[in-house]
Structure 1
């Protein structure tokens, strides 16, 4: 790594539209239409914003009760993924990315019940 040019290992959502297709209930709970232009609406942003809404009491009482722990668990996975990236452990981050997507699937399923 140079003095000016930095090398980073990072995770980014390839297709933001896929986030809405895969987790439509979570997207609806998290983001209002119209969405802000110039701001990312990927997996990481979805989870960060969803957790913020949970912590600020902006989710329905039912969602807080039924999804709160799952949201916190998913956010913990996201933090471990980001730690793995920061520690240059992309193999661990890859495994955690699958874990995170599976947890979001579970939250989506629970949100539809």
Structure 2
């Protein structure tokens, strides 16, 4: 890193429509109520929003109970991925990104039961 130039490692979802297509039920459950004013709606943001919806009581209590464990896991994975990126550990962040997508898959399966 130079005096002026900063080097950053980041993760993002190139096409947010992919999130809507991959996890449509979870996406609708979390985003459509309007509590989240986040302009970015990528996969990591969906995991964070699902966690917030669960812990803040923004979704039905039974839904929150059903999603709770996986939402907490997803948020933990998201935070660990962000920490790995901050530490410039791209390999660890990459591994965690797959685990985060798996957690979102599991949350989608749970949400389909509502």
Q: d(CA) in 2 for partners of 1:64 and 1:37?
A: 20
The alignment covers a number of residue pairs equal to 113
Q: 1:52 to 1:33 in 2, by over 3 A?
A: closer
Give the ranges of 4+ consecutive aligned residues of structure 1 lying more than 4 Å apart after TM superposition: none
Cα offset for 1:73?
0.6
For normalisation by structure 1, the TM-score amounts to 0.91
The answer for unaligned runs of 5 or more in structure 1 is: none
Q: d(CA) in 2 for partners of 1:76 and 1:84?
A: 12
The answer for unaligned runs of 5 or more in structure 2 is: none
How large is the Cα RMSD of the aligned pairs?
A: 2.0
Q: d(CA) in 1 for partners of 2:19 and 2:102?
A: 13
Structure 2 residue matching 1:63: 3-state secondary structure: helix
**1:63 corresponding residue in structure 2:** 63
Q: d(CA) in 2 for partners of 1:13 and 1:49?
A: 15
Cα offset for 1:61?
1.4
**1:25 corresponding residue in structure 2:** 25
